[in-house]
Amino acid sequence: MAQVHVIIGEDDYLVSEAAKRVVGDGVGLETVDSANSSNADLQMRDLREAEASLMTPPFLDPKKVTWWRNVGFLPQTGKGAPSEDVKAALERFAQKLAAANLPECQHFVLSGPRLLATSVFAKTLKASCEMVVFASGKPAEQARNAVVRAVDFAAELGLKFAPGAAEAFVALVGTDSRSLMSELGKMRDYLGPKGKQITEADIAEITSQGAGVEPAVWSITDALGERNVGKVVDAVSRFERENGFAVLVATVVEKFFRQLAELKDAEARGMLGKATEGMVPWAVRKTEAHLGNWTLNELRAARFRFQELRERAVSSQSADALVVPRLVQACARRRRA
């Protein structure tokens, strides 16, 4: 096992858990925290403290672990890049880390959110230390990875998601692993000792929206698909303060009714299976449930109303007040003669 460990990632929970596997029970732990080191003087101070801890052997303790954490000024591009003096000092420190012949009972852990893989610092350490990098990726990739983690975290707590619920959970909470774990802990307490499966209804009831997570537009279309007026009004209220409120909602809802009408027509012709090819299974199940709540004529009429509303909203600022009445009108079921 390597004695020097570099752990990089913007997901604080994943980074901390990886570091804790080295830290263990905390015996002999010395911590240097650079979370608030926002200028070169403080950064140089932290570097000196980390180096002093590295060069001090365990003595009488059975082991020693130095954890230099939250190092946000490692070599990187853009905002957060270190000054030239700090960068040079980091490169010298990397050489000392790479050359350090630490005893088996001594470990050094360095963790931070970002590190340029092509930097001198990274290349110096890559060959001689354990380097763990949690890549952030593009938003879609982050969401997919977060769904996998949410499923794994739930299993650790003895829970499992109903089909489609994991995606809904991540869409609401966000991709931050600590937030996912926190909300799953709440879910476990909410379900009680006999509850094992997490449904979308459970998520809507107890799960909090993650910090920085934009309200999900699909909450409006899901409520419309169910023809649930209460859910529709609640969902659309989250967007009322957005600029271009009427244009946003009218555009999303018109597209929803257009796509649902096309699928309803395909269903009537026995072609629904072919029309939903390529859709993920949970989305197909949700769509099939929505189709059962609407007739084709209702979908076409609703689409026309929101197409007209969007055109009015684009050309006028007086359409905001019409959004909720049009949504309620769409949900109302016509009485049969």
Condensed to tens digits (0 to 9), the pLDDT of residues 141-173 reads 888 899 999 999 999 999 999 988 898 898 888
- Domain range enclosing 281: 218-331
Contact indicator for 6, 105 with CB cutoff of 8 Å = no
Q: How far apart are CA 321 and CA 249, in angstroms?
A: 12
Does the pLDDT of residue 336 top 60, yes or no? no
Angle at 14 between CA 209 and CA 91, to 5 degrees: 125
Does the pLDDT of residue 270 top 90, yes or no? yes
**SS3 breakdown of the chain: % helix, strand, coil, rounded to 5?**
55, 10, 35
What pTM was computed for the model?
0.66
Residues 185-223 pLDDT 10s: 999 999 998 889 999 888 878 888 776 666 667 788 888
Give me the number of domains the chain comprises.
3
Residue 336 lies in a domain: no
Residue 211 lies in a domain: no
Tell me the CATH number at 145. Answer: 1.10.8.60
Same domain, 21 and 130: yes
The b-or-e profile of 136-162 (16+ CB within 10 A means b, else e) is eeeeeebeebbbebbbebbeeeebebe
Mean pLDDT of the 264-283 span: 86
Does the pLDDT of residue 81 top 80, yes or no? yes
Residue 222 lies in a domain: yes
Does the pLDDT of residue 337 top 50, yes or no? no
Tell me the CATH number at 35. Answer: 3.40.50.300
How many separate helices (H) and strands (E) can be counted in the chain? 15, 7
From the list 158, 147, 210, the residue with the least C-alpha distance to 183 is 210
Q: What is the mean pLDDT of the chain?
A: 89
Residue 151 lies in a domain: yes
Distances in Å between the alpha carbon of 261 and those of 270, 295, 300, 304, 312? Answer: 14, 9, 6, 11, 22
Same domain, 243 and 201: no
What is the model's pLDDT at position 283? 77
**Pick from 89, 111, 134: which residue ends a domain?**
134
Contact indicator for 251, 258 with CB cutoff of 8 Å = no
Residue 121 lies in a domain: yes
